[in-house]
Amino acid sequence: MGARFVRLDRLKVGKDYPVRVMGVINLSDESFFRGSIVGDPAELEKVVLQVDEDGADLIDVGGASTAPARVYGTSEISVEEELERIGVAIPKIRKLTSLPISIDTVHAPVAERAIGLGVSIVNDISGLQNDSQMAEIVAAKQVPVILMANCGAPCRSLKDAVESLKRSITIAKKAGIDEEYIIVDPGIGFGKLPEVDFALIRGLGQFLSLGQPLCVGVSRKAFIGALLEQPDPTDRLTGTIAATSIAVANGADIIRAHDVTEARLAARVGESLRQSGDGP
């Protein structure tokens, strides 16, 4: 695991702390997995309470889909619409749960607004490389940030992803973001070739060498569908559980999941597999 830990409100992530499960709530109709999309307020309340009851350690809220259009045909929305979605939903979520909340966005105005509404983590899939103001916002607000590997186009190798994260960490530090606020994400999915995604999971140790806690998202992604011949993300739960256990065994500190109960169980298996010592 990483040499450092990050505090997410009352949670500590990294080092020898338990693996944390981040439950996903998508406010975006264009998201690739229809089962994660929350529409009306009554449904939002039900989903938030269920995610909490299922044992999530934190919640990741997205106002716009980050799934690649060339893979899933997702449509792009305006920053204004993203702001409107989170402006309505986050106050409701904040009233329903005491779990830490992260905002999944690449836009600084959305991150700033979400933090003002009670969000305590920024999850930027661009690794601070999309919006030049994002690093400044994170530094000024002194909140943890999840930096995902971003090669401009889909990363073509494990080395590319690691180098991308090194650039993102440099951007963060130059903006004044302390190492104790940085979590890294190898960026599994997002239009990569399946063999690259498998290489990233096998090579998670190289991301741990960056010295930061590691967040991994494999939930229902296309590499599972390609391997198991399951074009519909709804069918990919079994493959997700398997990939989750392996990711945790290889060092993941946070698992981003659509299916919280299953992710928690899979993470327990993964943690057991990576325990040191000769056993009984």
| Residue tagged active-site, from 192, 221, 236, 264 | 221
Kindly give the pairing relationship between strand 11-14 and strand 5-8: antiparallel
| Residue tagged active-site, from 256, 264, 268, 274 | 256
List the CATH code of the domain at 18-273: 3.20.20.20
- List of residues 6+ apart from 171 with CB closer than 8 A: 127, 128, 129, 135
Question: Using one digit for the tens of pLDDT, what is the confidence trace for 177-208?
Answer: 999 999 999 999 999 999 999 999 999 999 99
Question: Using one digit for the tens of pLDDT, what is the confidence trace for 40-88?
Answer: 677 889 999 999 999 999 999 998 877 665 555 566 788 999 999 999 9
Q: Judge whether 7 counts as a catalytic residue.
A: no
Question: Using one digit for the tens of pLDDT, what is the confidence trace for 133-149?
Answer: 999 999 999 999 999 99
* pTM across the whole model: 0.92
Q: Judge whether 221 counts as a catalytic residue.
A: yes
- Give residue for tokens 């690093």: 135
Domain ranges of the chain: 18-273
Q: Which residues pair with 121 in a beta bridge?
A: 102
What is the residue type of 253? D
How far is residue 54's CA from residue 179's CA, in Å, rounded to a whole number? 31
